[in-house]
Chains A and B, each alone.
Chain A
Amino acid sequence: MLEQVAIQLLNGLVNGMILALVASGLTLIFGIMDVVNFAHGDLYMLGAYVGTTALAVTGSFWLALLAASVAIFWLGVAIQLVALRPLLGRDPLTTILATFGVSLVLQNYALWQYGPAGRRITEPVAGHFRLFYLDYPWYRVIVAVLAAAILAALWLFLKHATWGIWIRAVTQDRVMAAAMGIPVPLVHTAVFGLGAAMAGASGCLSGPLVGVDQTLGLGIILKAFIVVVVGGMGNLVGSVLAAIFISLLEALASLWVSPAQAVIVSFVLLIVTLLGRPTGLFVPTPK
């Protein structure tokens, strides 16, 4: 029993890191421009698909990962320019609707382009190590480490790079940032691209763990929404913590109930959070 719990904790941590990557992109986009990106899950899904194509062409998983991130970055830039820039200054609700339309297009494009049959990305690292009574794939551990590295890089970028400082400035005060000469519209587009690239990368990373099909998006966006709300809208550290917390809870719950029902645990956590602390569990001082 204890061994099962340990294994599930590791599983939860791996899933949590992938989820954290998706959710931090979502929360970054919300924080900077009040856009709730409904298409975020579909960018994740398309990242996985681009990964399968690039893997077939280049034969290297790491090149495929790079290709997925770059392709989804530019797709994100295009979406922001076409669908979201005209909505700047309107009610945030209209951005949900617009990105929802984008999500419909992306999802059905994937269905059209890649067909309804699921695909699989082969693991780039095939080795296993002994964990109690089962062979645990090294790849899962690598995914968690890699996701953590990407998040750490993002943090350093936001902290020290010129663009990172611009992003934080625009998040704090859009008008003042513009007055200081920061190209605010460009920052908006770049952040959307950045968030999209993170979704694309995590889609490609999780490709070998779960099958790739066009319904992947809805599953992850629901979880990412929950994470973002539980962690506090627009709060990066909060959403990383919340992603890990929720994934651990779900992994533990699936010891007793089926995975389909384990989802309810995170739903309940969301409701409890909304009732008790609507600004998020991991925010020190509500605004």
Chain B
Amino acid sequence: MTRTRPPLGYWTGFGLVLLALAVAPLVLPEFWRRFVTEILIWGLLAMSSDLLLGYTGIVSFGHSAFFGLGMYGAAMALLRLHPASLVLATGAGLAAAAIVAAVVAYFSTRLRDIYFAITTLVFSQIFYVVIFTWTEVTGGENGLAFRQPPLTLFGWTHRFTPTTLHWFVLGAVTLSYLVLRRVTQSPFGMVLQSIRENESRTLAIGYDVKRYKIVAVLLSGLFAGMAGVLYAVQNKFAAPNFVFFDVSANVVIFNVLGGPGTLVGPVLGAAVFFVLRELFSRYFTEYYLIPVGVIFTLTVIFLPQGLLGALRRPLNQ
């Protein structure tokens, strides 16, 4: 197979979307700016899950554990360490998520298909129960609140404004996207995709499928933890309901709506979900999940590739 250069169209589109997202906080009113920032963070979480769902072909119903541990890791570092440091908080959040991901990966990858999905779900509920009941450390039901840390790089300190925070999030998400894209196109990513297409044959060729899956879950957990750190920094708190099943469920919804196996699809899925939520809350108030659930089921039946399914090939070049 000859390796073609990435198409010009792809990078033009990439640049345009990035530019639009960078300009967004300057032109949008406060509510919508925050809206876009949150979509980016949830999008990163969904993107991390896409590595499993879209590329490896295994569904995780437990991404809230990684997200929540990223959140709590960052929160604890910010509360315990003085002076509070964003870099250390990020490191702590990623470390916490990675440890949890390692545990989950070790156990859940011994199983296939639905068993994997159920195990991840059960693990996330274990961590939820632990966080919810271990009040002395995690604040229990109230969670942990803290002050937003400044960004300190090489002796230069910057206090976040909403706009610069948006740029910070955008930078982190873009960087994560590029890394994940590189991973999925690497030989390692190719093996993951071959596991998705035919697990037994991949095993028969001689790849250690289980080891590849463990690394995939670890990587996925790490990026989910990053999303958790960003969310904690933006909202200045960590709360147990972000470790609950709802978050994992939303992540699956984002993926299926946007198009698994495209990395940007899940981000689009998150955007569509939140726009739908805004739209439907006007008519259905808090019952907006009824129409969302209907749309979700219809997508599974009639549009299994998601909204960006048609663009799957160009997006992976």
Contact = CB atoms under 8 A, between A and B. Distances in A.
Given A97-B252, A275-B110, A267 B293 contact: no
A97 B256 contact: yes
B110 A105 contact: no
Number of contact residues on A: which range applies? 35 or more
A73 interface: no
A107 B122 contact: no
B41 to A, nearest CB: 22
A107 B292 CA distance: 12
Interface in B101-147: 107, 110-111, 113-115, 117-119, 121-123, 125-126, 129-130, 132-133
A267 B59 contact: no
B279 interface: no
A108 interface: yes
B115 A278 contact: yes
A98 B300 contact: yes
B245 interface: yes
Interface string A87-106: 10010111011101111110
A218 B249 CA distance: 12
Interface stretch (B28-36, B187-195, B282-290): B282-290
B296 interface: yes
Contact of B107 (A36, A218, A274): A274
B256 A225 contact: no
A102 B300 CA distance: 11
A67 B118 CA distance: 32
Interface string B278-317: 0000001011111011101100110010000000000000
Interface string B143-185: 0000000000000000000000000000000000000000000
Given A229-B118, A271-B119, A83 B301 contact: yes
Contacts of B297: 83, 98, 101-102, 105
Contact of B117 (A86, A96, A226, A275): A96
A87 B302 CA distance: 10
A65 interface: no
A270 B120 CA distance: 12
Given A97-B59, A102-B293, A107-B289, 4 more contacts: A92-B114, A100-B252, A101-B297, A108-B288
Contacts of B110: 274-275, 278
A274 B115 contact: yes
B129 A263 contact: yes
18 contacts: A93-B117, A101-B300, A102-B297, A104-B292, A108-B287, A108-B289, A111-B287, A226-B118, A226-B122, A258-B133, A260-B129, A260-B133, A263-B125, A264-B126, A264-B129, A264-B130, A270-B122, A275-B110
Contact of A100 (B113, B249, B287, B294): B249
